[in-house]
Chains A and B, each alone.
Chain A
Amino acid sequence: MSIDTLEPLLAEHPFLQGIKKDYLQLITGCAKNVRFEAGHVIFREGEAADQFYLVRHGKIALEVYLPERGSNSILTLGAGDALGWSWLIPPYKWRFDARAIETTQAFALDGKCLRGKCEKDPSLGYELLKRIAVIIAERLHATRLQMLDVYGARE
């Protein structure tokens, strides 16, 4: 079977599961397949956030660079995860570094292309925002749990 478009593959990704076919077609128009070898820096803090990634296989680390200490991994993402929402939020700059720590396959969605389509069709924008809001909320909950240091010693 040949696959002429990424649409059926995109439809299987958890981030887009159950999305209306019309929206999926619009999103597919902004998507491409990408592959990163282990160690490849996908983006760096401060660079233009012009992509949004849906991970298919592999593992990516979100890192922050600490002067005189080096890169510090703060979160890893794997198959089924979405990487980056800075493409949607001004000033459209990455806030962290992202590096593949295993060979990684993903869909790269062109942020500028998606923003344009969302402006033209606010219902698509609302649908994507709802899905991204879930991710933001999950990451916020997880970060709070990390901050609570629940495994720390207590008397």
Chain B
Amino acid sequence: MNDGPQRAGSIDPMLPAPWRIRRVRRNTRDTFTLDLEPVYAGISLPFLPGQFNMIYLFGVGEVPISMSGDPESSGAMTHTVRAVGTVTRVMSRLKRGDEIGIRGPFGASWPVEEAAGKDVVIVAGGIGLAPLRPVIYHILARREKYGRVALLYGARTPHDILYQDELEKWRGRFDLQVEVTVDNVSAGQSWKGNVGVVTSLIAGARFDPAQTIAMICGPELMMRFTMAELKKRGIGDDSIFISMERNMKCAVGFCGHCQFGPTFICKDGPVFRSDRINPWLSKREI
């Protein structure tokens, strides 16, 4: 790390700060995690669970990616990325020492303070576990402040399960209920876990519906089904939070690309209380 100009992203939200890749980890066949450190000394981007950065690949483009690391690890930044588009495919070929630009952090966070003293149900689908991982770190760092905590995670196949080592470690804790399911298992595959959609795990989750905050992240359809199941269990709309994804460009509510009804996903979200976003989820024209 050298002592260059102090160019923290927080000074000018439109100006990327250079960060260097410290480590690349392959999570699944199409998902990888980048551990980043600032190129210039003194730059840090404190963030809240659920917030995102705009990651700029010089000469390629910029994409919004949620933080997936520990919010309390100072000086480092972790992003888990799925290679699905032009920018993220190029990103998947980056190596240790390569540099990228970061603007951020942006957006509303998960309600980790509001959830203190209550039970917490975290429901993640696919890559949706990445934006929720900082919530798990936050809760585990102050476990006594929360009631029962359940993590319900659904993936496409056993090969697509993110953070397998960590899930295994969390499952071993007596103060955390961890349930994982996959949609599909190939014949002959030695998978001893659950098979079925993530919503099927909700019936077995341990929580008091009147005293629970639910946080959901995954494909929109999965989140709609999950909200319906949680409501069947008695959790109110005002206690369910979801993380939305839209075409975010400026990340500060200027450009309007991510406008969703009366809100901007980048500025007002990506985390929304479900009763504030639900009226727009069913509008096909939006």
Chain A: residues with CB nearer than 8 A to chain B? 14, 59, 61, 66, 69-76, 78-80, 101, 141-142, 145-146, 148-155
Is B221 in contact with A148, judged by CB distance below 8 angstroms?
yes
Is A61 in contact with B204, judged by CB distance below 8 angstroms?
no
Q: Which residues 70-119 of B sit at the A interface, judged by CB distance below 8 A? A: 82, 84-85
Identify whether the interface residues of A are mostly helix, strand, loop, or mixed: mixed
Q: Which residues of A contact B23 (CB under 8 A)?
A: none
Residue of B nearest to A143 (CB): B197
Q: Which residues of B contact A75 (CB under 8 A)?
A: 195-196
Of the candidates A14, A61, A69, A74, the one whose C-beta lies within 8 Å of that of B188 is A69
B63 to chain A, nearest CB (A): 12
How long is the Cα–Cα vector from A80 to B203 in the complex, in angstroms? Answer: 8
Given contacts A73-B185, A151-B160, contact A146 B197 (CB under 8 A): yes
How long is the Cα–Cα vector from A131 to B273 in the complex, in angstroms? Answer: 33
Cβ-based interface call for B7 (8 A): no
Is A145 in contact with B204, judged by CB distance below 8 angstroms?
no
Is A150 in contact with B192, judged by CB distance below 8 angstroms?
no
Pair count A-B, CB < 8 A: 71
How long is the Cα–Cα vector from A75 to B156 in the complex, in angstroms? Answer: 13
Cβ-based interface call for B270 (8 A): no
Return the 5 tightest CB-CB contacts between A and B, nearest first: A151-B126, A69-B187, A151-B156, A150-B219, A72-B187
Chain B: residues with CB nearer than 8 A to chain A? 30, 82, 84-85, 125-127, 154-156, 160, 181, 183-188, 191-197, 199-200, 203-204, 218-219, 221-222, 225
A135 to chain B, nearest CB (A): 12
How long is the Cα–Cα vector from A66 to B183 in the complex, in angstroms? Answer: 18
Of the candidates A72, A78, A152, the one whose C-beta lies within 8 Å of that of B185 is A72
Is A146 in contact with B184, judged by CB distance below 8 angstroms?
yes
Of the candidates B85, B156, B191, B196, the one whose C-beta lies within 8 Å of that of A142 is B196
Q: Which residues of A contact B186 (CB under 8 A)?
A: 72
Is B195 in contact with A61, judged by CB distance below 8 angstroms?
yes
Residue of A nearest to B160 (CB): A151
Q: Which residues of B contact A70 (CB under 8 A)?
A: 187-188
Is A153 in contact with B195, judged by CB distance below 8 angstroms?
no
Is B125 in contact with A150, judged by CB distance below 8 angstroms?
yes
Interface contacts beyond A76-B195, A146-B196, A151-B127: sample of 7 additional A-B pairs, CB < 8 Å, sorted by A: A14-B203, A73-B191, A80-B204, A101-B192, A150-B219, A150-B221, A151-B155
Is B219 in contact with A142, judged by CB distance below 8 angstroms?
no
Is A78 in contact with B204, judged by CB distance below 8 angstroms?
yes
